[in-house]
Chains A and B, each alone.
Chain A
């Protein structure tokens, strides 16, 4: 699979780069009453690894199925490599797909499974053998070629499914929660393996998952879905460090939520009164000026305990409610600013903190780590 064969590359040189797949004003409804996908606009660049991340029922799988051709958009246009593919039959799209439960054909051996997409393309027998061989080597399953899928472990089945989706050199690979059925260790291993294969082959991958750590590990960019809408499309770093709304802040990683009303706001900073318990300085992202409600989002690991006075502009009295020792860090649940589910992560790097439930402490954080988002 040399890179020069890839049509996407040719397009990358000739056409405008950056939009290999485009969802334009896509809406999808199954019953004519509720929209599963609401006005989706999404551009996928050539060669990137893009993950559709969201809770179940958020529309991510439906979007993938529309791209694969198994669902028809109710409204809008899907373009692949500059061509409208709304009405193109799935088998003409040349899109490789890895299914949730692998969908390996149980009556065929590993080899026959891999040869299937090549046979239906009427490739010469010698070419088929060569390509199957290469694909088997890629996923290190050459010894398993004569086995049936039922005789393979879950991880091996997953590799076969991956190899089968890649063996006919598709320009685009779709993966629908392909690692969902594996145990944690194998899943993490496969995440890295898939990432390496993606880098090596320079294919475009659209990956669907509900597992945020999987999305962060593997993706170039992540589209966070909720309620049929893309909440944010950004790199993993941006998504975690700079969530644009309260849903993303909550869904990606862990964050403390403080609800309050903006009392003053300028371009760089706003002051939010948290239910009369204190004023918090934060970065205004989706705050709508003085008098409006906002949700403050703050990562637990950005909070310091008992800081030296004057280091942080946000400093408050708190009380330890609960301590959970987790080895590499300790989670402390404290009550502060009228809420008692405020979580602090204390890294074990400097030893286990000397705290006890019920003890009063001071906590503080930087205004730039605290983001004033939409009311939720």
Chain B
């Protein structure tokens, strides 16, 4: 029936049926919206807004924007290759004078220092110097104070930092930088993050693979046991779930350290101790232990839905035990495997406490660097760019999963 026809259908009192339906449903819809609203607001306030703020921080020059306005104007006509003119030096001197009075020069210096290492001390010296000066010429003063002021690169950094937005943090998160002639790779001795991402992916992938290899047979055992026994076994699987992550990691720390029980045993049996704590081995071991239930439970829940008659049917149709498993049972567990592995992989990408406590310096993952920039250096821009990169990678993985398996097929617990 066409829409025009539908509009003509009327209820007994002459009101079009569609309007009647909308009226009758309105109350129910309002109720439904009312029930969902608190959670929706919660998600917006606690998840979406921090995400937005964090992303903004990673592209903003919050330390320098508005504090180097004169310099920016003076540099507007600068070629970027040679030494800026006296006006630019005078403008920077004026900006620094004001910043010095407002005690903001330190922040500017720190920001410039990210991109031009060593700039911080030069800024401090020159700020003190220009504060005492009434008139120019500034260019000679600057250049006589430090030859670095004659470096066009420093001026390019100052110019870049004077704007509202910067790509510096994002470029830096993937080991790139703004060079004299466009985007370039940072020198090998300064490149850290690609290596960190690679390491993070490798650890997450290895942990995912290990939990799958260990978890799949256990899930199968659980799914095929009678309910009473399966419940008891399930408690053992869930136990780590109910213990704090920090406590479990600390337990591994105690077990694996050089004077720990494992090394005591090794000493007793073969007369030597092993370096286990602060190694990749310890990181992988502890992470696998923690992640095992996350991989196992989705697989288990999918296995529970596979009727035993499927394998029996395959057997009666002539397939041996392995063939029946491989061609009939296993393909049906794939949505569970995909869900469990995706969950573990994504969670493993964000691991922080475990590598920090039991891993060595070469086992630190992206999250450890996020924490380092947040807590040690107070460089929110870099921390945000690293975190956001991780988020983007996760979303891409999720998208790929949806294309390959389909989110609607995912079964979690």
Contacts and interface: CB of A to CB of B under 8 A. Distances in A.
Given A91-B315, A116-B327, A103 B320 contact: no
A120 interface: yes
Contact of B328 (A68, A105, A174): A105
Nearest to B323: A120
Contacts of A106: 332
Contacts of A312: none
Contacts of A120: 317-320, 323, 327
Nearest to B316: A97
Contacts of A325: none
Interface string B283-327: 000000000000000000000000101101111111111011001
A96 B316 contact: yes
Contact of A97 (B307, B313, B331): B313
Contacts of B313: 97, 99, 103-105
B309 A168 contact: no
A76 interface: no
Contact of B319 (A91, A96, A101, A164): A91
Contacts of A117: 317-319
B310 A90 contact: no
B309 A91 contact: no
A268 interface: no
Nearest to B320: A91
A103 B310 contact: yes
B309 A103 contact: yes
Nearest to B317: A117
A100 B307 CA distance: 11
Contact of A105 (B310, B315, B316): B310
B310 A91 contact: no
Contacts of A101: 307, 309
B331 A103 contact: no
Given A117-B318, A168-B317, A103 B323 contact: no
Among A69, A100, A107, A168: residue with most chain B CB under 10 A: A107
Contacts of A165: 316-317
Contacts of B309: 99-101, 103
B312 A70 contact: yes
Nearest to A105: B328
B409 to A, nearest CB: 11
Interface string A37-75: 000000000000000000000000000000011100000
A16 interface: no
B75 to A, nearest CB: 65
Among B312, B320, B323: residue with most chain A CB under 10 A: B312
Given A90-B312, A97-B313, A120-B323, A103 B318 contact: no
Nearest to A121: B318
A164 B332 CA distance: 19
A95 interface: yes
Given A105-B328, A107-B332, A99 B312 contact: yes
A236 to B, nearest CB: 27
A104 B319 CA distance: 14
Given A103-B307, A107-B332, A91 B327 contact: no
Interface in A165-219: 165, 168, 174
A89 interface: yes
A368 interface: no
Contacts of A99: 309, 312-313
Given A103-B309, A105-B328, A107-B331, A89 B320 contact: yes
Contacts of A174: 316
Contact of B316 (A91, A100, A104, A107): A91
Contacts of B331: 107
A91 B332 contact: no
Interface string A81-104: 000000001110111110111011
Among B315, B319, B321, B332: residue with most chain A CB under 10 A: B315
A96 B307 CA distance: 18
Contacts of B317: 91, 96-97, 116-117, 120, 164-165, 168
Contacts of A90: 312, 315-316
Contacts of A68: 312, 316
A340 B332 CA distance: 57
Contacts of A103: 307, 309-310, 312-313
Interface string A103-120: 111110000000011001
A166 to B, nearest CB: 11
A94 B315 CA distance: 10
A89 B322 CA distance: 13
Given A91-B324, A105-B328, A107-B331, A116 B310 contact: no
Interface string B361-403: 0000000000000000000000000000000000000000000
Contacts of B323: 120
Contacts of B312: 68, 70, 90, 97, 99, 103
Contacts of A95: 316
Interface of B: 307, 309-310, 312-321, 323-324, 327-328, 331-332
The 4 nearest A-B residue pairs measured at CB: A103-B313, A117-B317, A103-B309, A97-B316
11 contacts: A68-B316, A89-B321, A95-B316, A96-B317, A99-B312, A106-B332, A116-B327, A116-B328, A117-B318, A168-B317, A174-B316
Given A105-B313, A165-B316, 17 more contacts: A68-B316, A69-B315, A90-B312, A91-B324, A94-B318, A95-B316, A97-B313, A97-B316, A103-B307, A103-B310, A103-B312, A105-B314, A105-B328, A107-B332, A116-B314, A120-B318, A168-B317
